[in-house]
Amino acid sequence: MEWKPHITVATVVEDNGRFLMVEELKRDRAVLNQPAGHLDPNESLIEAAIRETLEETGYDVELTGVIGIYLYTAPSNGVTYQRICFAGKALRHHPDYQLDTGIIGPLWLTRDELIEQRDRWRSELTLQCIDDYLDGKLFDLTLIRPSV
Q: pLDDT tens digits, residue range 58-114? A: 999 999 999 999 999 988 888 899 999 999 999 999 999 999 999 999 999 999 999
Q: Is 38 inside a domain boundary?
A: yes
Percent of the chain with pLDDT over 90: 86
Nearest residue to 104 via CA among 35, 56, 52, 46: 56
Q: Is 30 inside a domain boundary?
A: yes
Q: Give me the mean pLDDT over the 1-15 stretch.
A: 89
Calpha distance 6→135 (Å, rounded): 27
Q: Is 1 inside a domain boundary?
A: no
Q: What is the pLDDT of residue 128?
A: 96
Percent of the chain with pLDDT over 70: 98
Instruction: Say how many domains are in the chain.
Output: 1
Nearest residue to 66 via CA among 134, 138, 118: 138
Q: Is 148 inside a domain boundary?
A: no
pLDDT at 56 over 90: yes
**Choice between 77 and 141, residue whose per-residue pLDDT is larger:** 141
Q: What is the pLDDT of residue 2?
A: 78
Q: What is the pLDDT of residue 22?
A: 98
Q: Is 15 inside a domain boundary?
A: yes
- At 29, is the secondary structure helix, strand, or coil? strand
Q: What is the pLDDT of residue 71?
A: 94
Q: Is 113 inside a domain boundary?
A: yes
Calpha distance 92→114 (Å, rounded): 23
Query: DSSP character for 47?
Result: H
Count of alpha carbons within 13 Å of 5, Cβ hemisphere only?
Answer: 12
Average the pLDDT over each of 9-13, 55-59, 71-75, 126-130 and give the range with the smallest value.
Answer: 71-75
Nearest residue to 33 via CA among 140, 118, 148, 146: 118
pLDDT at 148 over 70: no
Q: CATH no. for residue 47?
A: 3.90.79.10
Q: Is 97 inside a domain boundary?
A: yes
pLDDT at 9 over 90: yes
- Contacts of residue 4, defined as CB under 8 A and 6 or more positions apart, other chains included, come to none
Calpha distance 28→50 (Å, rounded): 26
Domain range holding 66? 6-143
